[in-house]
Amino acid sequence: MNASDPVLVRARGVHFAHGPRVIYDGVDIDIPRGKVVAIMGPSGTGKTTLLRLIGGQWRPNQGTVEFDGVDVHTLRRGALYELRKRMGMLFQNGALLTDLTVFENVAFPMREQTRLPESMIRDLVLMKLQAVGLRGARDLYPQQLSGGMSRRVALARAIALDPDLVMYDEPFAGQDPISMGVLMRLIRTLNDALGLTSIVVSHDLQEVLSIADYGYMVADGKVQVQGTPDAIRQSDHPWVKQFLKGEPDGPVAFHYKAPAFATDLLGDAR
């Protein structure tokens, strides 16, 4: 671990395309150590893709993604898996293993990755569940949990191995105000208490900016705006303005690309 480098994750000149669709067209992003960084942008702009690129699940067409000074995509499988032990990821739907209880889900990475005795795993799991307020739900199965509870269990699982980095994929999507508040407080508190670095991908701009130290707004394959939460809120960039005000039209067009309306209606009669 190269703790002298203040940047934990460094993406440089990242190009990534899904078939003909360009997701990233030369993106530079720095994730400073110990901070909560928000990655914002409209749906479908590749916010989740960034997390998969950092985790090495997908490979950029060009450019590099470094984690703690190591280029993620030059690693062989074994080394990549070693690196992933230092990352935790909370998927949008929780991605809990449905045939395991809450307790077993949180214990899963410990049982797979360590040789700790069962008594110690039990204590650690209860500590992680206590941190997310779900120690009492340890014997429930994922299908018995609400959406917010699932994400909290997934969060407990993501921090099970005490990672350096936790990545949150749309943690607030579809949550009621109480669950959203709980998750926001948890992300900030855990980051500070455990000395983590957090990346929160979200399109809930106000909420994510309220807990972030720094933010990137990604759209059209590029970083459109970046800065502290206050700087982003005060930005008069059209992307930010449309997003903050929830305007239906702007850089994100209301109408999907189509030929002229008159041409469509009149067709050959014109």
Partner 1 sequence: MSGVLSIVQNFLSGLGRAQFFLLQVLASIPALLLRPRLIVQQLYYVGQLSMVIIVLAGSFVGMVLALQGYRTLIRFGAEESLGVFVALVIVRELGPVVTALLFAGRAGSALAAELGLMRATDQLSAMEMMAVDPVRRVVAPRFLAGVIAMPLLASIFAVMSIGIAGGHAIGVELLGVDAGSYWSQIRGSVELDDITDGLTKAAVFGFAVTWIAVYQGFHAEPTSEGVARATTSTVVISSLSILALDFILTAFMFK
Residue numbers at the binding site for partner 1 (CB under 8 A): 52, 55, 57, 81-82, 84-85, 87-89, 91-93, 95-98, 108-109, 112-113, 154, 157, 161
The number of beta carbons lying within 10 Å of the beta carbon of residue 139 is 10
Nearest residue (CB) to partner 1, 95 versus 116 = 95
Residue 249 beta carbon to partner 1: minimum distance, rounded to whole angstroms: 30
CA–CA separation, 227 and 114 (whole Å) = 39
Exposed / middle / buried, residue 108 (Cβ in 10 Å: 0-12, 13-18, 19+): middle
Nearest residue (CB) to partner 1, 5 versus 82 = 82
Residue 112 beta carbon to partner 1: minimum distance, rounded to whole angstroms: 5
Residue 146 beta carbon to partner 1: minimum distance, rounded to whole angstroms: 16
Nearest residue (CB) to partner 1, 107 versus 211 = 107
Q: Are 153 and 171 within 8 A, CB to CB? A: no
Nearest residue (CB) to partner 1, 114 versus 235 = 114
Write phi, then psi, for 130 (nearest 5 degrees): -60, -40
Residue 248 beta carbon to partner 1: minimum distance, rounded to whole angstroms: 28
Beta bridge partners of 181: none
Q: What is the largest CA-CA distance in the chain?
A: 79
